[in-house]
Structures are given as structure tokens and as C-alpha cells.
Structure 1
């Protein structure tokens, strides 16, 4: 827990944003919310004020951009209650700027027209708001005489608002042509919103007096409003656990693994299509279910219905396991989730539902589904592995190699270093018959059997034969008997 966590916080009203901010914004502070048009700054501000309504805080929206009616309609479309919030409209099209009024920020000795600052001061002194949004503060830059006057008066305005006990949120139309570095120096907190073709992000670059989770973090905007999906930082998650062996329930397979898979390790099952990687993985889950343990399978390459049908055909009762809550299968299609969304749901399974086995079925499908949604998918797989190890969860990953026979490869994505254990499955042809073999290439936490064994998958289930000690060249795909002569 952070040393700042005990300090009182002001909720942003955005799901998971307060998690990133170590509980929320600090009271009587000023936050700069920066980003290009369309990144969600106004929606963020509406969430912030709606959260104040729920906590019975007085809210004030100082509007220098969109009309008040538009803002209220926007809030309503997202289901945000801002009814009690007061609006001070100071945009050129607002009531404050009729033809007989000037659009000056400050009252000078040469004019008697009211200034923006006086309007704001009068409204704040009348309402005594707890939360203030100024959207966008950068509009004031265009109506000041120079940059020095702009900075001086913004600082004075912030000091006044904070002195009145208000927590202030300023929005900035950040762009290369209009830098806002000066504003970043004036505030206590800087939150940046960004948006590319596939992903919105939020990053906290400054948080005076508090800690914040490192970003960038994924942001989504739906009919329910804005939500933040915190980036997975494995080192922030750890718990004590005891090392145990996870049996497959097949004695010969357990013999290969010297008792089974060790909890808190990540195992790659590598082989070509149709060799039995998913079925072998489900065998471990079937055995775990018998002990009341929960497993989760994330399928990136096969439909849930097909998997259920195939598993039932080989005597793995996945439907019964699902009904009992010892197995959950989640089919994930391309572009359905960002990496941060996926790791959030994975963490929920581990931390909230107590899942003890996490399976990622299909590395290639995983990469295709999550490519471009928040960094390199392979690097995130490394983070997922570290997280599972820290939490004592057994990870299982199926990895397809495209050569059915021929030159042996453990993986084609050069991922073998990510795994604690590598179990290889191969098709082999002998005397015109296609067979399957299984063996262990690597185990970090224990010894393992060096032999290859024949693997059979029938309607009665998975069986593993005796060591194939009389065959040579199995990994080439075309083995020979030692007694052929």
C-alpha cells in the first residue's frame, strides 16, 4: 500500500481511474486534463461532477466551449446525473457575451466592462462549490494580452478556487501548435488522454503529494460513459503459496512430468494442429475440477461450442465442469478486447474468483486478437506469466508450430524462454501409420523423464503409452526402429 493512501481522496467518478490515482484526486487541488479534441476530456469532467452529486458536493461547470444544453444532453446520454450542478457559461456565444460586452479576461483602467475573472469570482463566492470544472482553460489564452499575463492570471484564479476549498479540474486542448507546458507547471496533477485508431489511453505524468500507477492505461467510452483499464504491473501483485504438483490423472503423463505440473509455473504445450494440445491441457483441468479447483480457458482460435463438442467426445465432461463452476471458457475474437481489458478480466478470475489454472489457448490467435491494442503482445505475455507466478497460479499456454513433420521446433515465435516448462507433442509417421508422441523438453522446477511416449486420444479419453525406447529420430517426424535389420 502506498504511503499516501491514507490521505482523503476526491473520487473522479470513472471506474478504475481512482485505482490508478491511489484512491482519487487530492482535496483542494488543481488537475490539468489534457488531450486533443475527441479524447474524452469533457466526458471526464461530467463524470467528475456527477460523482460530486452522489456525494452531495456542490458542483460548478465553467463553460468556455460547448453550450450548456449540449453538455446536459451529453451527460444524460451517458446516464450521468448532473441536475444539481450549476453552469457558468462564458463562451463567446453564451449569455455573458452579448453584443454590448467585451471578451476581455481582465478589467483594465480604461474600461468599465466586467471581466471573466470577476464573473467567476462572484459565482464561486455565491455557490461555494466543492468541485469546479473549467472547460477548456486554454480558451483564455486567446483573450489575454501575452503569455505572462495568461500564466499569472491562471495561477491567481487557481489560488483563489483552491483557497475557497474547491477541487479544480481544468481541460486543455493540447496540440503541437498550442503547447500547454506552462499550465502543467501551475497545477498539482497532470492527466493526459490520447486516442489512436485502435486505442484510447490515460496517463498520469504528475501527481504532487501522491503516487500513481504507471501508464499508459486503456480507456474505453461506451453508452455507460468512460472507463479506465489499468495496465498490468506484475510486481504490484504477489501472495504467498506452497509449491505443489498438479496431476493430470494419467499416471504415464504424470511420470513424464515427475508427478505433474508445479503450481505457480507457466507451461507451454507446443505442437502442430490436431496433435492434442488443448485436449491434454483440459485433462489437467479435469483432474483439478475433481479437487474443487477452478480453471479458466481463454480461447483465441477455436469457438466455445466446438471446444465443448470435442471435449465431450473424448470423455472430458466440460459441460458438467462449467455447470459446477470449476471451469470457465471465454472465447475472445479479434479486436474484441485491448490487452489492458484482457489482463483486467484475467486478474478478476485470479483475485476475485480464486481461479487456480489459467489457460491461453493459441499464442498465434492471442497475438492476432491483441496486436496493436497496447504494445507488443509478446511482451504482455511475459507480464502475464510473471503475474501468474507471483500469485501462485498455474499457467498453461498452447503454441502451434506449423510443420507437421520434419525439422523440430519447440516454438515458432521464439517464445521458449517465456516458459518454465515445455511439453512437446508431435505427429510421427511409421510404416504408413500416423501416430502422436508426447515428451518434456524443459522443466525449471524439477527433474523430468527424458523419454518420449506415444499419445492416444480416443472416445474413452487420453492415454499415454510406455517409453518408446526402441525408436530413433522421432522429432524428425520419420522415426526408425533400432531393430529394423
Structure 2
């Protein structure tokens, strides 16, 4: 069975290759979900591969459709376009009074489509939209009979056809979904802040083992991009579990040799405790091993992140300049969970990337309107990176100074190794402590150490005896972590 590319980035993956040829499909969704844009991508992808395309647009004029295509950089010059004006150009319909005008209009649509199919012999056909046909029909029964007639005619001609329609709550007809060979539903939701959240579901695709569930998509200046929902089942290869250094001798001692390649490390603590700086140290360690690294920054501009790390002696600017380190500035409210995880995977698939930093998990969740959805995506992303032997460093902010660990996140699910950074008062100054709370892949020391962070110096050292009592009381009061 030959399959035709949809022309939509990521959508073919959901369909195991694209639309089975010669069948009829339905894309439905409320206004603004991107149906027409996807249809244009379907037609232009066909034109690029030599397929003839035919578009019947009843929702706008042919010129308006061409302007829409041009806004995405698409060229419709090799695609036959007919609009309502050319389809229904029948002055005699207005002069007669024997037949219902709507019946004449519908008959004209069928006759014009049949004539065009015979003339053009297209491999790809788009009809936009069914709601316009429904409005022109005398009643629901007449409309459904019309749809059945159009569908049979298109199948007989061997054309792969895409019908566009609204969802039932916006006037669409739910009955026709049972007639077509495939249905995709497009959704659009507005969060309290940020871009619209768009997702699609392939409700059915006869004869094809398609990807189920909801998948994020976005509309870019090139058209629609779909981000297939990750499935860790696709990556069954276990991690190698090689121990690597963290870049800090003291932390390597506390973790009994370092952390494990292909696992996730969560650095958890209060604001100002040194979480991002420690993540920078692990980036530098990966670069020093001859690998590449990438950091996705939700809370700090990349330039600030690199300058601060340089001031503490980590020299990340050199790695950034020669391309071994890449920093990505992420904006709150401007990213979809599916889009983000695919961006991370794209970065991780570069030749030598073995360390990925996400700073912070709190910022990622803030940027996502559907937080439960985003957290599930992140969990699957970590599992996928694990099979690619990538160490994932997650920075997580502890809300407040007295909140218990795990109040905001289920950190046991997200982390294989948990490093806790805290601040405490001793000798009339705020000092920092570090503790390894768990390490799934091997032993670790349970004692606390002091984290020293000052210009030109970032290291771990034993806690002075005079500080230990105050620090111990703080940890006993507020440090309960899941294992």
C-alpha cells in the first residue's frame, strides 16, 4: 500500500508514513486550529513530488487562499484552485422558480467537481470546507447524500482527498466521521498567559497502526509542525551505566566516584544556593571529556549564565565560542511541552552531546499551560535520553525556605541521583551545604559538606565543627525526600 506524505513536519510519523493513497480523510477542528494550513502543505508537498493537486475552496476566494499560502512561503501556481464564485457561477439559478435554488447549487458543485476531476486527473484533492456545503444544502439528509456521492466519486477517480470541517460543537457533522477512511481532530486552548496550546489526535486511520493519544503542534512561519508524543517503549536499549566525574572533586567523593552516564541528576535547593552554578560545573566536566553539551535555560539569559560561571573559574565561554557548548534561551509562555522535548532530543542527537541541562524544571512547568501533561512529557524525555546514554541534569527550585523536599515535584520519578543544596546561618553569615540524598546506581556518602562559592572559587569542603549543629537541625527539620 503506497502512502503519500502529508507535507506536515512530524505528522507522517504518526501515520507510519502518511496517507494511504486513494482514500478519503477528514481534518476537523474549530476555527484557527490550522486546518487550511495543513491542507495547503498537503497540496504543495504533492506538487513538489510531481502529483497534480486540486483545491475546492468554499470558505474564501482563490486569491485569498493564494495569499494565505504565500504567507507561509508556499506556491500554488501548479495547483488548480476553484472557489465558490467559479463553482456557482450560474445566473439561470436566480431566474427560475420551479426548483429549490439550494438544490441547483449543490448539483452544480457535484457537476463542476466531476468535470474538474476528469480534466485535471489529480492525485490530491482538498475540499474546504464541509460546513459551507452543509449551509447550502436543503436539509441534513440532502447534505449527507451529497457527501456520500462526492466520496464515492473521488474514490472511483483514485484521488487522495482531504475534507476540512468544524468539530461538532462548532457546527460540524459527527456522522460523516464514520464514512471516511481517517479522521484527525485539531484542538486549540488559550492559557492564562502565553501562546495558544494546539494539540491533535488521530481518531482513526483504517489499515494503518497510527500513534494514538494527543500530540502537540504549532503554527510557524513555514506552516504547521507536529511534535509526536514520545514513547519510551520505542527505545528499549538500557543505559551503559558508566561512572563519570561531576567536575567537583568533593562531589565525586560524596557520590563514590561520580554520577552515572545515562541517568538523571536533580539539583534541588533554595534560591541562591548554587544550583545553576553546579549544573554549569557538570556541563564543563562533559566538555572537558571531549563531549558536547547543551543547556536549556528558562530563568536566566545564556549570556548571564556563562558570565557568572566564568567568574567562578569554570570558563564556559570558551566552550560556547567553539561550539562544544550550546545554550538555548527559553521564554515563559512560548513553548509547548511536545515542542520542548523534541527540541531537546534534536540537540541530544548531535554527534557528541552527552550532557543536557534543564534549568529549571519549575521554569519549564511555568512555561507550560498544561502542567500535568508537561510533567509526563518530561518524564518520558528523561527515559528517552537515558537510552541515548545522555546524562540529564535537572535544576529544581525549592519553593520557600521551609518547604519540604517534594512539595512541588515528584522528584523520585524524575531523578536517579538527588543532590540537595541548602542555606544556613552560621558565624553571622549565610553559608551553603550540599548533601547527596540518593543515588540509584550505586553507593553514596550520607554526610553533609559545605559548598563554597566565591569569585574564582567553587568547591566542596568539610563543614567546620562550629557550624554543624545549626546545619544538622535545619536538615532534620525540613529534609524528607522520597527514595
CA distances 1:225-265 after superposition (whole Å, capped 9, x unpaired): 22222233333334454111120233321110011111222
Match of 1:127 in 2: 120
Q: Please state how far the C-alpha of 1:408 moved relative to its aligned partner.
A: 7.0
Match of 1:290 in 2: 288
Q: Please state how far the C-alpha of 1:95 moved relative to its aligned partner.
A: 5.6
Q: Which runs of 5+ in 2 are unaligned?
A: 191-195, 477-483
Q: Please state how far the C-alpha of 1:71 moved relative to its aligned partner.
A: 1.2
In structure 2, distance between residues paired with 1:297 and 1:138: 47
**Structure 2 residue matching 1:191: 3-state secondary structure:** strand
In structure 1, distance between residues paired with 2:378 and 2:217: 20
- 2:87–2:112: 8 Å Cα contact kept in structure 1? no
Match of 1:45 in 2: 39
Match of 1:56 in 2: 50
Q: Which runs of 5+ in 1 are unaligned?
A: 1-6, 480-485
Q: Please state how far the C-alpha of 1:59 moved relative to its aligned partner.
A: 1.0
In structure 2, distance between residues paired with 1:460 and 1:352: 32
TM-score (structure 2 length as normaliser): 0.88
**Structure 1 residue matching 2:77: 3-state secondary structure:** coil
Aligned length: 464
The farther-off stretch of 28-37 and 346-355 is 346-355
**Structure 1 residue matching 2:357: 3-state secondary structure:** strand
Q: Say if 2:172 is the partner of 1:172.
A: no
Match of 2:205 in 1: 207
Match of 1:483 in 2: none
Q: Please state how far the C-alpha of 1:274 moved relative to its aligned partner.
A: 1.8
Match of 2:479 in 1: none
Match of 1:184 in 2: 177
Q: Greater helix percent: which structure?
A: 2
In structure 2, distance between residues paired with 1:41 and 1:423: 46
Q: Say if 2:418 is the partner of 1:417.
A: no
Match of 1:3 in 2: none
In structure 1, distance between residues paired with 2:95 and 2:277: 72
Match of 2:325 in 1: 327
Match of 1:395 in 2: 392
In structure 2, distance between residues paired with 1:442 and 1:235: 26
CA-based RMSD of the aligned residues comes to 2.7
In structure 2, distance between residues paired with 1:23 and 1:103: 50
Match of 1:380 in 2: 377
Relative to structure 1, the CA distance from residue 95 to residue 159 in structure 2 (aligned partners, 3 Å threshold; closer, same or farther) is closer
In structure 2, distance between residues paired with 1:133 and 1:270: 52
2:355 aligned to 354, 357, 366, which one? 357
In structure 1, distance between residues paired with 2:392 and 2:475: 32
Relative to structure 1, the CA distance from residue 115 to residue 356 in structure 2 (aligned partners, 3 Å threshold; closer, same or farther) is same
- 2:270–2:422: 8 Å Cα contact kept in structure 1? yes
The farther-off stretch of 18-27 and 146-155 is 146-155
In structure 2, distance between residues paired with 1:134 and 1:434: 68
Q: Please state how far the C-alpha of 1:412 moved relative to its aligned partner.
A: 3.8
Q: Please state how far the C-alpha of 1:354 moved relative to its aligned partner.
A: 4.2
The farther-off stretch of 443-452 and 391-400 is 391-400
Match of 1:441 in 2: 437
In structure 2, distance between residues paired with 1:409 and 1:233: 32
In structure 1, distance between residues paired with 2:104 and 2:151: 24
Q: Please state how far the C-alpha of 1:213 moved relative to its aligned partner.
A: 2.2
2:461 aligned to 462, 465, 468, which one? 465
**Structure 2 residue matching 1:176: 3-state secondary structure:** helix
Q: Please state how far the C-alpha of 1:68 moved relative to its aligned partner.
A: 1.3
Match of 1:4 in 2: none
In structure 1, distance between residues paired with 2:284 and 2:170: 60
In structure 1, distance between residues paired with 2:81 and 2:461: 76
Q: How does 1:100-111 map to 2 (within 5 A)?
A: 100-101=92-93
- 2:9–2:225: 8 Å Cα contact kept in structure 1? yes
- 2:307–2:317: 8 Å Cα contact kept in structure 1? no
Match of 1:306 in 2: 304
Match of 1:98 in 2: 90
